[in-house]
Structure 1
Amino acid sequence: MQDALVVEELMTCVDAVAVKARSVQEELESLLSEEQVEQEVNVYMILERDIRALRVEARQYIEKSKEQTSSVKEVHNGGACAPVLPKWDLPKFNGDVLLFTAFWTSLKLVFIQDQT
C-alpha cells in the first residue's frame, strides 16, 4: 500500500509538470515561426501522449494494489478462528410441571448418548 501512495504522489507531481509544460508550450508558440511551431507542437503532442500513458499505467497500478490489499484482507479474515463445537439438539421444557419427569428423562438420554 505504501507503493501506491508513492505512485499517487508522483502522479500529482507529473500533473504539475504537465501544466507547466503546457504554459511553456503556449509561450513558445507565440515566439516561433510557423515551421518551428509545427515541430514544437508535434514534440509536445508526443510528450502529452506519454503523460497520458503514464497516468493510465499509474491508475492501473493503484487499482491492482488496492485489489491485492483487499484480497489479503479477505484471506486473513476468511476463515473462522474459533474451534468447531458440536451442535446439540436439546429437548425444550415448556413449563408444564406434570411433564417435567419426561423432559428430564429425555434430557439425560441426550447426554448419555453423547458420551458413548
Structure 2
Amino acid sequence: MAAESNNLEEILRPFYQRASEAEDRLARLEASLAGKKESGNEELLKLADELQSRLETAKAEQVAEREKAMKEVQYLTAENAKLQYRIIHLVRALKEADSKLAAKSDLILYP
C-alpha cells in the first residue's frame, strides 16, 4: 500500500505543480487588474476633481457677473429716474413759457 501511495503521489505531483502555477498566475493577474482599476479610478477621480474645480470657478464667475449686472441695473434705474424728473420739469417749463408767450401776444394784438 505504501508503494501504491507513493506511486499515486508521483502521478499527481505534475497536477499539483500545474495547479500551483495556475494559482500563482491568477494571483498575479488579479494584482495587475486591481492595479489597473486603481489607476483607472485615480484618473477618473482626477478628472472629477478637475471638473468640480471648473464648475466652482464658473459658479464664482457667474455670481460676480450677476452682482455686476445688478449694480449696473441699479445705476441705470437711478439715471432713468433722474432723466424722467428732468423731463417733467422741462415739459412744465416749456408749457409755462408757451403760456407766457401766448399771453404776451394777446396783449400785443389787443392793447
More helix by share: 2
Structure with more contact order per residue of length (Cα contacts < 8 Å, sep ≥ 6): 1
The alignment's TM-score, normalised by the length of structure 1, stands at 0.45
The alignment's TM-score, normalised by the length of structure 2, stands at 0.46
Q: Which has the larger radius of gyration?
A: 2
